[in-house]
Amino acid sequence: MSRTLFIGDVHGCYTELLSLVEKIWLTPEDHLYFTGDLINKWPQSIEVVEFVRSRPNTWSVLGNHEYFPLISYAEVEKIAAESAHLSDGHKSWVYAQYERSHELREVIEQRWHREWLTSLPHIIERDDFILVHAGLHPDHGIDTPLEIATLIRLVDGKPWYNSYTGTKPVIYGHWAVDGLRIRPNTIWLDTWCCFGGHLTAYCLETREFWQVRANQISKMPEHWKNKVII
């Protein structure tokens, strides 16, 4: 019988991805979903993309690390100016993320299929789950716009998931600072693999979790270091 499996933000950690799919005994019949942010931070992003593109029964939503290399600076300015859900500090982070994606944009144009990345949905809804990279805004729900669904963290100063009242579970990543967080109707799978933590998988049917430890540690913000799971 096929399983419905999810893997959190990979960020180019291809070696860990291979270890994780081996650990969960992934079969061609299993349906595999990724929370976005397949790329950036570690150099094997191309290999991760090729894995997701070539494997049958595999899907990913668009993460902010795929989104930023695909848009113009003018679009970034518009996001920062019109996004009431972003704090001033978060808006500064948006600009910084865009600037850091310069080399990545060149690689996408030269070696990757831009059309494939552009085609990734920002929300996937099935009968028994919702998949999104960052989260859903309570004012929009399943119709949360792309620029919010890939970036949201807080709503009125509190984590967005505190405002989610739906019964269909939302599976997401993006905000790695708190790592794995399991709530009755939301499951957060970004567990710091690119910063020396773990890469995590989850099975919808059995509610099992699997993790593999990161093989390397990237440079991270100083205020995050004491929260990394090693």
CATH classification at residue 190: 3.60.21.10
How many structural domains is the chain composed of? 1
Q: Do residues 172 and 189 make contact, with C-beta atoms less than 8 angstroms apart?
A: yes
Summarize the confidence of residues 199-226 as an average pLDDT.
78
Summarize the confidence of residues 207-225 as an average pLDDT.
71
pLDDT of residue 32: 98
Q: Which domain covers residue 52, as residue numbers?
A: 4-227
Closest by CA position to 126, among listed 169, 64, 95, 156: 169
pLDDT of residue 225: 46
pLDDT of residue 115: 82
Q: How confident is the model at residue 102 (pLDDT cuts 50, 70, 90)?
A: low
State yes or no: pLDDT of 223 exceeds 60.
no
**Whole-model pTM?**
0.85
Residue percentage of the chain with pLDDT more than 90: 53
Summarize the confidence of residues 142-161 as an average pLDDT.
92
pLDDT of residue 42: 72
Q: Comparing 15-29, 117-131, 209-223, which segment has the lowest mean pLDDT?
A: 209-223
Q: Comparing 38-52, 106-120, 168-182, 192-206, which segment has the lowest mean pLDDT?
A: 106-120
Average model confidence (pLDDT) for the chain?
Answer: 84
State yes or no: pLDDT of 196 exceeds 90.
no
Q: How confident is the model at residue 110 (pLDDT cuts 50, 70, 90)?
A: low
Report for 64-73, 174-183, 196-205, 217-226: range of highest mean pLDDT:
196-205
Q: Comparing 74-78, 153-157, 158-162, 180-184, which segment has the lowest mean pLDDT?
A: 74-78
